[in-house]
Structure 1
Amino acid sequence: MVRSLVTGLCLAVFAAVIIGLSNVLGLDLEHVALLGAALGGVLALVPHRPAWGKPAGFLAGFLLAWLGFAMRAAWLPDSSGGRAVAAFLVVALMAVVAAVTGGRLPLWSGLVGAASIVGSYESVYTNAPSQFLSESPAAATTVLLAVGLGYLAVNLLAPQGAPARSGSRRRRPSEAPDESAATGRPSTTIEDLVTGAAS
Protein backbone atom coordinates (compact mmCIF):
# COMPACT_ATOMS: atom_id res chain seq x y z
CA MET A 1 0.00 0.00 0.00
CA VAL A 2 2.81 2.41 0.93
CA ARG A 3 4.68 1.52 -2.25
CA SER A 4 1.64 2.30 -4.40
CA LEU A 5 1.14 5.61 -2.60
CA VAL A 6 4.78 6.66 -3.01
CA THR A 7 4.83 5.61 -6.67
CA GLY A 8 1.58 7.45 -7.38
CA LEU A 9 2.76 10.61 -5.64
CA CYS A 10 6.05 10.52 -7.52
CA LEU A 11 4.16 10.15 -10.79
CA ALA A 12 1.89 13.05 -9.83
CA VAL A 13 4.92 15.27 -9.16
CA PHE A 14 6.42 14.36 -12.52
CA ALA A 15 3.12 15.11 -14.29
CA ALA A 16 3.23 18.59 -12.75
CA VAL A 17 6.90 18.92 -13.73
CA ILE A 18 6.01 18.05 -17.33
CA ILE A 19 3.52 20.92 -17.41
CA GLY A 20 6.11 23.21 -15.79
CA LEU A 21 8.66 22.25 -18.44
CA SER A 22 6.09 23.04 -21.09
CA ASN A 23 5.82 26.62 -19.86
CA VAL A 24 9.55 27.13 -19.26
CA LEU A 25 10.79 25.61 -22.53
CA GLY A 26 7.91 26.75 -24.70
CA LEU A 27 6.89 23.18 -25.52
CA ASP A 28 3.35 22.06 -26.18
CA LEU A 29 3.30 19.44 -23.43
CA GLU A 30 0.31 20.56 -21.39
CA HIS A 31 -2.32 18.58 -23.27
CA VAL A 32 -0.27 15.34 -23.14
CA ALA A 33 1.16 15.64 -19.61
CA LEU A 34 -1.29 13.34 -17.87
CA LEU A 35 -1.57 10.98 -20.84
CA GLY A 36 2.19 10.61 -21.14
CA ALA A 37 2.87 10.33 -17.42
CA ALA A 38 0.12 7.72 -16.99
CA LEU A 39 1.25 5.59 -19.93
CA GLY A 40 4.89 5.88 -18.86
CA GLY A 41 3.87 4.77 -15.38
CA VAL A 42 2.00 1.76 -16.76
CA LEU A 43 5.00 0.84 -18.88
CA ALA A 44 7.26 0.92 -15.82
CA LEU A 45 4.87 -0.80 -13.41
CA VAL A 46 3.94 -3.92 -15.39
CA PRO A 47 6.58 -6.60 -14.83
CA HIS A 48 8.11 -8.23 -17.89
CA ARG A 49 11.22 -10.19 -18.72
CA PRO A 50 13.46 -9.20 -20.40
CA ALA A 51 13.23 -5.66 -19.04
CA TRP A 52 14.27 -4.10 -22.38
CA GLY A 53 11.26 -5.74 -24.05
CA LYS A 54 8.84 -3.24 -22.52
CA PRO A 55 10.33 -0.04 -24.00
CA ALA A 56 11.21 -1.85 -27.24
CA GLY A 57 7.62 -3.08 -27.61
CA PHE A 58 6.36 0.40 -26.77
CA LEU A 59 8.51 1.96 -29.50
CA ALA A 60 7.43 -0.70 -32.01
CA GLY A 61 3.75 0.03 -31.32
CA PHE A 62 4.39 3.77 -31.38
CA LEU A 63 6.12 3.56 -34.76
CA LEU A 64 3.47 1.28 -36.25
CA ALA A 65 0.67 3.62 -35.13
CA TRP A 66 2.57 6.60 -36.57
CA LEU A 67 2.89 4.67 -39.86
CA GLY A 68 -0.86 4.07 -39.63
CA PHE A 69 -1.37 7.84 -39.69
CA ALA A 70 1.01 8.05 -42.66
CA MET A 71 -1.05 5.44 -44.53
CA ARG A 72 -4.23 7.35 -43.79
CA ALA A 73 -2.70 10.59 -45.02
CA ALA A 74 -1.17 9.11 -48.19
CA TRP A 75 -3.45 6.33 -49.45
CA LEU A 76 -6.53 5.62 -47.37
CA PRO A 77 -9.76 7.57 -47.69
CA ASP A 78 -10.65 9.92 -44.81
CA SER A 79 -13.65 7.85 -43.82
CA SER A 80 -14.68 5.23 -41.27
CA GLY A 81 -13.53 2.53 -43.68
CA GLY A 82 -10.08 4.07 -44.05
CA ARG A 83 -9.69 4.42 -40.28
CA ALA A 84 -10.84 0.81 -39.80
CA VAL A 85 -8.27 -0.51 -42.29
CA ALA A 86 -5.48 1.49 -40.64
CA ALA A 87 -6.47 0.31 -37.14
CA PHE A 88 -6.65 -3.31 -38.29
CA LEU A 89 -3.22 -3.20 -39.93
CA VAL A 90 -1.57 -1.49 -36.96
CA VAL A 91 -2.88 -3.94 -34.35
CA ALA A 92 -2.29 -6.97 -36.60
CA LEU A 93 1.31 -5.93 -37.20
CA MET A 94 1.84 -5.44 -33.46
CA ALA A 95 0.56 -8.97 -32.90
CA VAL A 96 2.98 -10.25 -35.55
CA VAL A 97 5.90 -8.44 -33.87
CA ALA A 98 4.97 -9.95 -30.49
CA ALA A 99 4.68 -13.43 -32.01
CA VAL A 100 7.91 -13.24 -34.03
CA THR A 101 9.90 -12.07 -30.99
CA GLY A 102 8.44 -14.85 -28.86
CA GLY A 103 6.81 -12.35 -26.51
CA ARG A 104 10.05 -10.54 -25.77
CA LEU A 105 8.36 -7.46 -27.21
CA PRO A 106 5.00 -7.89 -25.48
CA LEU A 107 1.76 -7.02 -27.24
CA TRP A 108 0.53 -4.97 -24.28
CA SER A 109 3.50 -2.56 -24.45
CA GLY A 110 2.95 -2.15 -28.19
CA LEU A 111 -0.65 -1.22 -27.49
CA VAL A 112 0.52 1.33 -24.92
CA GLY A 113 2.85 2.82 -27.53
CA ALA A 114 0.06 3.02 -30.09
CA ALA A 115 -2.29 4.60 -27.53
CA SER A 116 0.27 7.31 -26.75
CA ILE A 117 0.59 8.62 -30.31
CA VAL A 118 -3.10 8.18 -31.08
CA GLY A 119 -4.12 9.98 -27.89
CA SER A 120 -1.82 12.91 -28.56
CA TYR A 121 -2.21 13.26 -32.34
CA GLU A 122 -5.63 11.96 -33.47
CA SER A 123 -7.51 15.22 -32.93
CA VAL A 124 -4.73 17.23 -34.61
CA TYR A 125 -4.71 14.83 -37.57
CA THR A 126 -8.50 14.97 -37.89
CA ASN A 127 -8.40 18.77 -38.11
CA ALA A 128 -5.65 18.83 -40.76
CA PRO A 129 -4.75 15.48 -42.40
CA SER A 130 -2.71 17.23 -45.09
CA GLN A 131 -0.35 18.63 -42.43
CA PHE A 132 0.82 15.16 -41.35
CA LEU A 133 4.48 15.67 -42.28
CA SER A 134 4.78 18.97 -40.44
CA GLU A 135 2.62 18.30 -37.36
CA SER A 136 3.14 14.63 -36.52
CA PRO A 137 6.84 14.96 -35.52
CA ALA A 138 5.95 17.62 -32.94
CA ALA A 139 3.13 15.48 -31.51
CA ALA A 140 5.39 12.42 -31.44
CA THR A 141 8.30 14.10 -29.66
CA THR A 142 6.13 15.81 -27.03
CA VAL A 143 4.28 12.65 -26.05
CA LEU A 144 7.52 10.62 -26.06
CA LEU A 145 9.05 13.14 -23.66
CA ALA A 146 6.02 12.92 -21.37
CA VAL A 147 6.02 9.10 -21.46
CA GLY A 148 9.76 9.03 -20.82
CA LEU A 149 9.42 11.25 -17.76
CA GLY A 150 6.57 9.10 -16.42
CA TYR A 151 8.61 5.94 -16.97
CA LEU A 152 11.60 7.55 -15.27
CA ALA A 153 9.49 8.70 -12.32
CA VAL A 154 8.31 5.20 -11.48
CA ASN A 155 11.69 3.56 -12.04
CA LEU A 156 13.56 6.10 -9.90
CA LEU A 157 11.52 5.65 -6.74
CA ALA A 158 10.02 2.21 -7.16
CA PRO A 159 12.08 -0.03 -9.45
CA GLN A 160 9.88 -2.93 -10.42
CA GLY A 161 10.91 -6.53 -10.53
CA ALA A 162 9.09 -9.81 -10.71
CA PRO A 163 8.39 -10.87 -7.13
CA ALA A 164 10.33 -13.87 -5.97
CA ARG A 165 8.21 -16.96 -5.66
CA SER A 166 8.42 -18.97 -2.52
CA GLY A 167 9.10 -22.61 -3.24
CA SER A 168 7.59 -23.63 0.10
CA ARG A 169 4.19 -22.02 -0.40
CA ARG A 170 1.44 -24.08 1.10
CA ARG A 171 -1.15 -25.44 -1.27
CA ARG A 172 -4.70 -24.56 -0.38
CA PRO A 173 -7.16 -27.48 -0.29
CA SER A 174 -9.03 -26.01 -3.29
CA GLU A 175 -5.89 -25.81 -5.43
CA ALA A 176 -4.91 -28.52 -7.88
CA PRO A 177 -1.77 -30.51 -7.04
CA ASP A 178 1.52 -29.32 -8.51
CA GLU A 179 1.97 -30.98 -11.90
CA SER A 180 5.68 -30.15 -12.02
CA ALA A 181 6.47 -32.88 -9.50
CA ALA A 182 4.78 -35.53 -11.64
CA THR A 183 6.06 -34.43 -15.05
CA GLY A 184 9.47 -33.10 -14.11
CA ARG A 185 8.70 -29.83 -15.93
CA PRO A 186 7.89 -26.52 -14.23
CA SER A 187 4.20 -25.68 -14.39
CA THR A 188 3.15 -22.47 -16.16
CA THR A 189 0.36 -20.35 -14.75
CA ILE A 190 -1.74 -17.64 -16.36
CA GLU A 191 0.14 -15.11 -14.23
CA ASP A 192 3.42 -16.32 -15.80
CA LEU A 193 2.00 -15.80 -19.29
CA VAL A 194 0.67 -12.30 -18.53
CA THR A 195 3.84 -11.07 -16.84
CA GLY A 196 6.20 -12.73 -19.30
CA ALA A 197 7.68 -15.06 -16.69
CA ALA A 198 6.92 -18.13 -18.78
CA SER A 199 9.79 -19.28 -20.96
Structure 2
Amino acid sequence: MTRTVLTGAVIALVAAGLAVAGGALGITTLWPVLLAAAIGLAGGHVTIGRVAGFVIGSVAAFVAMAVQAGVLPALPSAQAIVLIVVIVVLTVVAAVSGDRVPLWAGLAGYAAFAALYEPMYADRPTAFLAEAPVAFVTVLLATALGAAAATLAELVTANLADRSSSSPVVEPTPTAQLAEGEAV
Protein backbone atom coordinates (compact mmCIF):
# COMPACT_ATOMS: atom_id res chain seq x y z
CA MET A 1 0.00 0.00 0.00
CA THR A 2 2.85 2.40 0.80
CA ARG A 3 4.32 1.85 -2.65
CA THR A 4 1.00 2.73 -4.29
CA VAL A 5 0.56 5.87 -2.20
CA LEU A 6 4.10 7.04 -2.94
CA THR A 7 3.71 6.28 -6.65
CA GLY A 8 0.47 8.24 -6.75
CA ALA A 9 2.08 11.13 -4.87
CA VAL A 10 5.03 11.35 -7.27
CA ILE A 11 2.79 11.24 -10.34
CA ALA A 12 0.44 13.81 -8.76
CA LEU A 13 3.35 16.18 -8.15
CA VAL A 14 4.61 15.78 -11.73
CA ALA A 15 1.08 16.28 -13.09
CA ALA A 16 0.57 19.36 -10.91
CA GLY A 17 3.85 20.81 -12.16
CA LEU A 18 2.77 20.18 -15.73
CA ALA A 19 -0.66 21.66 -15.08
CA VAL A 20 1.09 24.88 -14.06
CA ALA A 21 3.98 24.92 -16.56
CA GLY A 22 2.82 22.54 -19.30
CA GLY A 23 1.49 25.30 -21.52
CA ALA A 24 5.04 26.50 -22.10
CA LEU A 25 5.85 23.01 -23.38
CA GLY A 26 2.76 22.85 -25.59
CA ILE A 27 1.02 20.40 -23.27
CA THR A 28 -2.46 21.81 -22.84
CA THR A 29 -4.04 18.58 -21.60
CA LEU A 30 -2.58 16.10 -19.13
CA TRP A 31 -4.29 12.86 -20.12
CA PRO A 32 -1.46 11.80 -22.50
CA VAL A 33 1.03 12.23 -19.65
CA LEU A 34 -1.12 10.18 -17.29
CA LEU A 35 -1.70 7.54 -19.98
CA ALA A 36 2.04 7.22 -20.56
CA ALA A 37 2.67 7.00 -16.81
CA ALA A 38 0.08 4.23 -16.59
CA ILE A 39 1.74 2.40 -19.49
CA GLY A 40 5.07 2.72 -17.71
CA LEU A 41 3.66 1.40 -14.45
CA ALA A 42 1.51 -1.38 -15.91
CA GLY A 43 2.50 -4.75 -14.60
CA GLY A 44 5.54 -3.68 -12.62
CA HIS A 45 8.82 -2.10 -13.60
CA VAL A 46 9.00 0.52 -16.35
CA THR A 47 10.45 -1.06 -19.46
CA ILE A 48 11.85 0.33 -22.65
CA GLY A 49 9.60 -2.06 -24.58
CA ARG A 50 6.39 -0.56 -23.22
CA VAL A 51 7.53 2.98 -23.93
CA ALA A 52 8.81 1.91 -27.36
CA GLY A 53 5.46 0.30 -28.09
CA PHE A 54 3.66 3.49 -27.12
CA VAL A 55 5.92 5.56 -29.37
CA ILE A 56 5.61 3.08 -32.26
CA GLY A 57 1.83 3.22 -31.91
CA SER A 58 1.93 7.03 -31.97
CA VAL A 59 4.13 6.98 -35.08
CA ALA A 60 1.75 4.49 -36.70
CA ALA A 61 -1.18 6.79 -35.92
CA PHE A 62 0.64 9.77 -37.41
CA VAL A 63 1.43 7.83 -40.60
CA ALA A 64 -2.15 6.53 -40.76
CA MET A 65 -3.53 10.05 -40.51
CA ALA A 66 -1.06 11.25 -43.14
CA VAL A 67 -2.19 8.51 -45.51
CA GLN A 68 -5.82 9.35 -44.85
CA ALA A 69 -5.22 13.07 -45.31
CA GLY A 70 -3.10 12.89 -48.43
CA VAL A 71 -3.81 9.67 -50.29
CA LEU A 72 -7.14 8.06 -49.50
CA PRO A 73 -10.63 9.39 -50.01
CA ALA A 74 -12.51 10.53 -46.90
CA LEU A 75 -14.58 7.36 -46.58
CA PRO A 76 -15.16 5.13 -43.56
CA SER A 77 -13.91 2.13 -45.56
CA ALA A 78 -10.59 3.90 -46.22
CA GLN A 79 -10.23 4.60 -42.51
CA ALA A 80 -11.03 0.95 -41.76
CA ILE A 81 -8.35 -0.27 -44.17
CA VAL A 82 -5.72 2.02 -42.64
CA LEU A 83 -6.70 0.92 -39.14
CA ILE A 84 -6.45 -2.77 -40.08
CA VAL A 85 -2.98 -2.22 -41.56
CA VAL A 86 -1.83 -0.38 -38.43
CA ILE A 87 -3.12 -3.11 -36.13
CA VAL A 88 -1.40 -5.76 -38.26
CA VAL A 89 1.88 -3.80 -38.10
CA LEU A 90 1.63 -3.38 -34.32
CA THR A 91 0.81 -7.07 -33.95
CA VAL A 92 3.82 -8.07 -36.05
CA VAL A 93 6.10 -5.80 -34.00
CA ALA A 94 4.81 -7.39 -30.79
CA ALA A 95 5.17 -10.91 -32.15
CA VAL A 96 8.65 -10.39 -33.59
CA SER A 97 9.84 -8.80 -30.35
CA GLY A 98 8.54 -11.71 -28.33
CA ASP A 99 6.11 -9.29 -26.64
CA ARG A 100 8.96 -7.18 -25.29
CA VAL A 101 7.20 -4.42 -27.26
CA PRO A 102 3.66 -5.27 -26.17
CA LEU A 103 0.71 -4.94 -28.51
CA TRP A 104 -1.33 -3.15 -25.86
CA ALA A 105 1.32 -0.42 -25.55
CA GLY A 106 1.28 0.13 -29.32
CA LEU A 107 -2.49 0.34 -29.33
CA ALA A 108 -2.38 2.83 -26.45
CA GLY A 109 0.13 4.96 -28.38
CA TYR A 110 -2.10 4.88 -31.44
CA ALA A 111 -5.07 5.85 -29.30
CA ALA A 112 -3.17 8.71 -27.65
CA PHE A 113 -2.24 10.38 -30.92
CA ALA A 114 -5.60 9.69 -32.54
CA ALA A 115 -7.50 11.04 -29.53
CA LEU A 116 -5.46 14.22 -29.53
CA TYR A 117 -5.34 14.85 -33.28
CA GLU A 118 -8.57 13.44 -34.77
CA PRO A 119 -10.76 16.30 -33.48
CA MET A 120 -8.33 18.80 -35.02
CA TYR A 121 -8.35 16.84 -38.28
CA ALA A 122 -12.15 16.75 -38.32
CA ASP A 123 -12.26 20.53 -37.91
CA ARG A 124 -9.60 21.30 -40.56
CA PRO A 125 -8.54 18.30 -42.69
CA THR A 126 -6.48 20.51 -44.99
CA ALA A 127 -4.29 21.70 -42.09
CA PHE A 128 -2.62 18.31 -41.58
CA LEU A 129 0.90 19.55 -42.33
CA ALA A 130 0.53 22.46 -39.92
CA GLU A 131 -1.29 20.75 -37.04
CA ALA A 132 -0.36 17.06 -37.05
CA PRO A 133 3.39 17.50 -36.41
CA VAL A 134 2.64 19.73 -33.42
CA ALA A 135 0.16 17.18 -32.05
CA PHE A 136 2.69 14.39 -32.65
CA VAL A 137 5.48 16.20 -30.80
CA THR A 138 3.04 16.97 -27.99
CA VAL A 139 2.17 13.27 -27.65
CA LEU A 140 5.85 12.28 -27.72
CA LEU A 141 6.75 14.91 -25.13
CA ALA A 142 3.82 13.81 -22.96
CA THR A 143 4.99 10.21 -23.37
CA ALA A 144 8.49 11.11 -22.27
CA LEU A 145 7.21 13.05 -19.26
CA GLY A 146 4.77 10.29 -18.30
CA ALA A 147 7.48 7.63 -18.59
CA ALA A 148 9.81 9.84 -16.57
CA ALA A 149 7.15 10.24 -13.88
CA ALA A 150 6.64 6.47 -13.76
CA THR A 151 10.40 5.89 -13.57
CA LEU A 152 10.79 8.51 -10.85
CA ALA A 153 7.93 6.95 -8.89
CA GLU A 154 9.53 3.53 -9.29
CA LEU A 155 12.92 4.82 -8.12
CA VAL A 156 11.44 6.59 -5.10
CA THR A 157 9.40 3.59 -3.99
CA ALA A 158 12.27 1.15 -4.63
CA ASN A 159 14.65 3.35 -2.63
CA LEU A 160 12.23 3.53 0.28
CA ALA A 161 11.61 -0.21 0.10
CA ASP A 162 15.38 -0.84 0.20
CA ARG A 163 15.72 1.43 3.23
CA SER A 164 12.96 -0.32 5.13
CA SER A 165 14.30 -3.79 4.31
CA SER A 166 17.84 -2.88 5.33
CA SER A 167 16.87 -1.66 8.78
CA PRO A 168 18.67 -3.61 11.44
CA VAL A 169 16.91 -6.63 12.86
CA VAL A 170 17.11 -6.82 16.62
CA GLU A 171 17.93 -10.37 17.65
CA PRO A 172 16.85 -11.47 21.10
CA THR A 173 19.72 -11.88 23.52
CA PRO A 174 20.54 -15.35 24.83
CA THR A 175 19.39 -14.26 28.28
CA ALA A 176 16.00 -13.23 26.90
CA GLN A 177 15.70 -16.56 25.06
CA LEU A 178 16.56 -18.46 28.24
CA ALA A 179 14.07 -16.45 30.26
CA GLU A 180 11.37 -17.08 27.63
CA GLY A 181 12.21 -20.80 27.64
CA GLU A 182 12.01 -20.98 31.42
CA ALA A 183 8.63 -19.28 31.50
CA VAL A 184 7.09 -22.00 29.34
TM-score normalised per structure 2: 0.76
The answer for unaligned runs of 5 or more in structure 2 is 159-184
Contact 2:45 2:154 (8 Å CA) reproduced: no
Instruction: Tell me by how many angstroms 1:5 deviates.
Output: 1.9
Q: Report whether the alignment pairs 1:99 with 2:102.
A: no
Q: What does residue 194 of structure 1 align with?
A: none
CA contact (8 A) 1:14 1:37 kept: no
Alignment of 1:61-140 (within 5 A): 61-140=57-136
d(CA) in 1 for partners of 2:145, 2:46: 21
Q: Quick check: 2:40–2:46 contact (8 Å CA) kept in 1?
A: no
Question: Is the 2:41–2:150 Cα contact (8 Å) retained in structure 1?
Answer: yes
Greater alpha carbon shift after TM alignment, 41-50 vs 88-97: 41-50
56, 81, 84: which one pairs with 2:52? 56
Distance 1:151 1:46 in 2: 11
Normalised to the residue count of structure 1, the TM-score between the two structures is: 0.71
Q: Matched residues, percent identical?
A: 34
| Whole-angstrom distance in 1 between the partners of 2:129 and 2:7 | 37
For 2:51 and 2:152, locate their aligned partners in 1 and report how far apart those are by CA, in whole Å: 16
Equivalent of residue 152 in structure 2, options 136, 139, 156 = 156
Identify unmatched segments of 5+ residues in structure 1. Answer: 162-199
Q: Which amino acid aligns with 1:73?
A: A
What CA deviation, in whole Å up to 9, does each residue of 1:128-185 have, x standing for no partner?
1111111111111112222221211121122499xxxxxxxxxxxxxxxxxxxxxxxx
Deviation at 1:71, TM superposition (A): 0.9
- Please state how far the C-alpha of 1:49 moved relative to its aligned partner: 8.7
Once residues 28 and 52 of structure 1 are traced to their aligned partners in structure 2, the CA distance between those partners, rounded to angstroms, is 24
Could you tell me how far apart the structure 2 residues matched to 1:153 and 1:49 are?
12
Query: Which aligned runs of 4 or more in structure 1 are off by greater than 3 angstroms?
Result: 47-50
Corresponding residue pairs, total: 157
Q: Deviations over 1:75-132 (max 9, x none)?
A: 2222322222222111111001111222221111111211111121110111111111
Deviation of 1:10 (Å)? 1.8
Aligned amino acid, residue 56 of structure 2: A
Partners of 1:73 and 1:132 within 8 A in 2: yes
1:8 equivalent in structure 2: 8
What secondary structure, in the 3-state scheme, does the structure 2 residue paired with 1:30 have?
coil
Taking a change above 3 Å as real, the CA distance of residues 55 and 36 of structure 1, as seen in their structure-2 partners, is: same
What's the offset of the Cα at 1:50?
Answer: 9.5
Structure 1 pair 106/48, CA: closer, same or farther in 2 (3 Å)? farther
Is this contact kept in 2: 1:49–1:104, CA < 8 A? no
State how far apart, in whole Å, the 1-side matches of 2:150 and 2:65 are: 30
Aligned pair in 2 of structure 1 residues 108, 158: CA closer, same or farther (>3 Å)?
same
The structure in which a higher percent of residues are helix is 2
Q: CA deviation at 1:39?
A: 1.3
Compute the RMSD of aligned alpha carbons.
Answer: 2.2
Whole-angstrom distance in 2 between the partners of 1:52 and 1:154: 12
